[in-house]
Amino acid sequence: MSSRNRELLALIPASLLVSLGFAAVFIQRDEFVGAQGTNRLTTASLTYGGIFLGLCLVVHLFLRWRLPHADPYLFPLVATLACFGLVFIYRIDQTLAADQAKWFFVGIVAFIATILVLRDYRVLERYRYVIALVSLLLLMMPLLPGIGQTTNGANLSVQVGSITFQPGEFAKIGIIIFVASYLRDTRELLSRGGRQVLGISVPPLRALAPLLLVFGAAMMLLLVIRDLGTSLMFFGGFLAVLYVATNRLAYPIIGFALFGLGAWFIGSHTAHVKDRIEAWHDPFGKLYDAPGGSYQLAQSLFAQADGGLFGTGIGQALLKQSDGKAILPAPQTDLIYSVITNELGLAGACGLLVVYLLFAERGFKTAILARDSFSKLLAAGLTAVFALQVFVIVGGVTKTIPLTGVTLPFVSYGGSSIVANFVLLALLLMVSDRSRRPA
């Protein structure tokens, strides 16, 4: 079976998941209102599944035309993740689900446009400094008066007219492109090193200066806008690409040491971060009822524990009290993983994580198969950032690390995240097609 036929076959189960998920939601709601929803169950759920399959087929046919040798599993894995998102957001709020479906369509358009415009993605190497500058400007946008929006003490989004988006989602791709392009030219110099300092070979400053300048500016801007989740993704992605480029373990070790020192300093001297750490240490303590305290994290843990092994069933999670107060705050964004764990149990949550792990495996395999340095570093960096984003949000809601406000890729509600991750997917598939193309 050809790779594209395998991709087509893998899209069918994803579409069936959409139909079955919506059918489960309809059954649950009809039980509560006492209606006879047989006709709605058979038509609406199949219609939604058919529309979803139709959009996936459009992308599949486009890939057959433009990227016939690309990895056959990356897009079906993304389609499966989108199934989880559409079904559970619809279960939470029908209006938000309609918006999510629109953004899913916009993401597909951005995906197709990226591949059509970038006939050869390696042209990005020529504009690395322009891309770095644009990425830094995107990170600065939430600080601009009039358009910057503050959410829970962090400047994350920008509102222009009726459109609100998070520029950091797109800046992460630009920074990875810059790092991959720059290390492609300096990897040999960084690998060999130069002077010995405390037994460590330190490369010349002229090789590190542009990289540290751009990356340091990005990290400082993220700290200013208090986007801690994205800063962790940037830092982890940077270390991953640096290690792949140089094959020197000293770089990530020094990076983690600097990260630990910086985390201690910021956690000790920044009130906002200090509160997050205290809430993480004891989510059921004195900060439980404090404004912006640990209530969200505590309720997340309660919801996951309530799900047990196989869950309470789709639609059974308690999200609001009778007076309208949220039992589980931000269930469509920060805590959607907790909703999934509550209703599908540990088994369903593990299934979702396995899909993410498979995506990361295919992404890193794309990096391994890449034939040139830039492609290898780009694929590794994009995959690392994607995987770290999953780790940051899942680790936060499960109390593994302090909770930060990032989205669960392709699952959480949010147009910026969907569109940016579709662009990321397009770049990965372009690298994959070039690496798998017969010589």
Run of H or E residues at 375: helix 373-397
Judged against a pLDDT cut of 50, whether residue 34 lies above it is answered with no
Q: What percent of the chain has pLDDT over 90?
A: 43
What's the pLDDT band for 32 if we cut at 50, 70, 90? very low
Q: Residue 11 and residue 25: Cα distance in Å, rounded?
A: 22
SS3 assignment, position 193: coil
pLDDT tens digits along 74-84: 999 999 999 99
Confidence (pLDDT) at 370: 93
Q: Using CA atoms, how far apart are residues 139 and 421, in angstroms rounded to an integer?
A: 17
What distance lies between CA 93 and its chain's CA centroid?
Answer: 22
Cα 435 from Cα 428, distance rounded (Å): 11
Tell me how far apart the alpha carbons of residues 275 and 267 are, in angstroms, rounded to a whole number. Answer: 9
Quote the CA–CA distance of 381 and 239 in Å, as a whole number: 9
Residue count of the chain, please give it: 439
Residue in the block written with tokens 């570093």: 377
Q: Facing residues of 201 across strands?
A: 196
Which residues, 6+ apart, have CB-to-CB distance to 430 below 8 Å?
A: 67, 70, 115, 118, 121
Rounded Cα gap, residues 59 and 333, in angstroms: 26
Q: Give the model confidence (pLDDT) of 212-251 as tens digits.
A: 777 777 777 667 766 677 778 888 888 889 889 888 887 7
Amino acid at 435: S
How confident is residue 207, by pLDDT bands cut at 50, 70 and 90? Answer: low
Residue type at 67? Answer: L
- Residue 174: pLDDT above 80? yes
- Tell me the C-alpha distance between 185 and 163, whole Å: 39
Whole-angstrom CA distances from 245 to 21, 259, 288 are: 43, 20, 45
Residue 246 confidence (pLDDT): 85
Please give the Cα distance from 121 to 115 (Å, whole number). Answer: 8
* Residue 76: partners with Cβ closer than 8 Å, 6 or more residues away: 7, 10, 11, 14
Which one-letter DSSP state was computed for residue 204? P
**CB contact at 8 A, 260 and 232:** no
Q: How far is CA 118 from the centre of its chain?
A: 22
Closest CA to 138 of 172, 168, 113: 168
What is the pLDDT of the chain when averaged over all its residues? Answer: 85
More confident: 366 or 316: 366
The pair of structure tokens assigned to 341 is 């764990």
User: Cα separation of 334 and 229, whole Å?
Assistant: 12
Both tokens of 260, joined, read: 């630990």
Lowest mean pLDDT among 163-172, 231-240, 271-280, 356-365: 271-280
CA distance 14 to 124: 33
DSSP secondary structure string for all residues of 219-258: HHHHHHTT-HHHHHHHHHHHHHHHHHHH--THHHHHHHHH
pTM of the model: 0.92
